[in-house]
Structure 1
Amino acid sequence: MTLTDSLLGFAAIAALITVIPGTDTALVLRYTLSQGRRHAYTAALGMITGAFVWGAAAATGVSALLAVSEAAYDVLRIAGAAYMVWLGIGLWRASLARRDGELPPGALPHHSLEPLRKAWAKGLVSNLLNPKYGMFCVAVIPQFLVPGVPPVAMGLMLSVVANAEALIWFLAIVAAAQFFGRWLNGATFRKWIDRVTGTVLGAFGVVAVLELRRA
């Protein structure tokens, strides 16, 4: 397999994984509607940073240890599930504390905006504690390593391909959310998007725990 064949084949698989709705998509959509475009892009950057870490780890065999160590993988799954549940609870608490009458239509009060570094950190942790993405890297990236190309360099190149596709996807989500923002950006809708996103994140965490108990 040539380098070009490897990159194109991986791009096709990564594109399918990217468009499947998950926690990353939910967080970017939530940040777009409740915090604004800058926060959504910053959170997406954090996710992409985490994806680079997973890609490099898979290529060097670090992540492969998780694949053969059931205990290590279970710890990662529990940590990821707990983080998603924590995010979900936080979003529900924020939606219940927010009073519609205190918010002018289409605007959040300045004090409610998160620091950009916090949005980046949430995106990073969301990706790093996502065992499904990690196992995707473990299972797929080694299949596209090219003889003669250093594994770390190849893993990073494959990560660039996947992250470029993810960036395009996130840009499309942000653009679509902003296009419909005039209808979706009211205080009541932002409250409900927090609740829906919180429920989705919490559900992902609960399902992960239930799958672990059945294993």
Structure 2
Amino acid sequence: MDINNILTFIAVATLLVISPGPNGFLIAKTVPISGQKAGFANIWGFVAAFYVHGTLSIFGISMLLVQSAQAFFIFKMLGAAYLIWIGIKALISAVKDNSSNQLNSPQKYDKSVSIRVAFSEGFLTNILNPKVSMFYLAAFPQFISVSDNAINAYALVTAHSLVNFVWFSVMILMLSRVKNATNNAMFKKWLNSITGVVFIGFGSKLALMENG
């Protein structure tokens, strides 16, 4: 595989990774509440989803989403429903926390999630995102020639995963450095409120996205 081809793909993948989206907001919600380990579990969930999308693209199974408007619609609505569900959960957490504060409840704010749940959230956020699937259907094949084997194709998926891992690892470490501030109950309530609205917005936008 040509080195220029690989570098171009990395540049495209980097733009995809650093552009604002559900992944960044999920990390921003997870780390202040559940800590670094849960944040890295989110990342591993992202990576696992990339390999699923990559495998489907490499073996052509995902073409069903392009050829069948009904299949794409179902897949799109599942992704939209999941994002909206995360948003609603975040808003409910913010409301519950506000109620606890009004009742002068002394308990510590603790809505942390397990490593397994954090991994699942990262995985589902990406596996049900048609935009990630479209990246692997539209952009990914452009960097693979007929002579390339599956190993070369998976090398590109790995490059995408590494860019993703580095970017969000830096984000996790930055959030961890201001952990004292982010541990504040008021901040977490605000964060849940913003996250809820953003995820509901992403889900609604996805649901209204045209198949073409």
Above 0.5 in TM-score? yes
The equivalent residue for 1:209 is: 207
Structure 2 length-normalised TM? 0.91
Between the aligned partners of 1:66 and 1:205, the Cα distance in structure 2 is: 19
CA displacement 1:159-215 (0-9 Å, x = unmatched): 100110000110111112122233332011011101111111111111222335x97
Counterpart of 1:195 (choices 185, 189, 193) is 193
The one-letter code sitting in structure 2 at the alignment partner of 1:70 is A
Between the aligned partners of 1:31 and 1:50, the Cα distance in structure 2 is: 18
Aligned length: 207
The one-letter code sitting in structure 1 at the alignment partner of 2:6 is L
In the alignment, does 2:20 pair up with 1:26? no
The equivalent residue for 1:65 is: 64
Structure 1: gaps spanning 5 or more residues: none
Between the aligned partners of 2:153 and 2:68, the Cα distance in structure 1 is: 22
Between the aligned partners of 1:36 and 1:130, the Cα distance in structure 2 is: 25
The equivalent residue for 1:35 is: 34
The equivalent residue for 1:174 is: 172
How far has the Cα of 1:67 moved from its partner? 1.6
CA displacement 1:20-58 (0-9 Å, x = unmatched): 010011101110111111111111111110011111111
The equivalent residue for 1:159 is: 157
CA displacement 1:130-177 (0-9 Å, x = unmatched): 111110110011111134322x32331111001100001101111121
Contact residue 103 and residue 187 of structure 1 kept, 8 A: no
CA displacement 1:92-131 (0-9 Å, x = unmatched): 1112112345355xxx44xx33221111111111100011
In the alignment, does 2:184 pair up with 1:186? yes
CA RMSD of aligned residues (A): 1.7
Does the residue aligned with 2:63 lie in a helix, a strand or coil? helix
The one-letter code sitting in structure 2 at the alignment partner of 1:156 is Y
Does the residue aligned with 1:62 lie in a helix, a strand or coil? coil
Between the aligned partners of 1:94 and 1:35, the Cα distance in structure 2 is: 14
In the alignment, does 2:49 pair up with 1:50? yes
Q: How does 1:71-110 map to 2 (within 5 A)?
A: 71-98=70-97, 99-100=100-101, 101-104=105-108, 108-109=109-110
Structure 1 length-normalised TM? 0.90
Structure 2: gaps spanning 5 or more residues: none
Contact residue 85 and residue 205 of structure 1 kept, 8 A: yes
The one-letter code sitting in structure 2 at the alignment partner of 1:206 is S
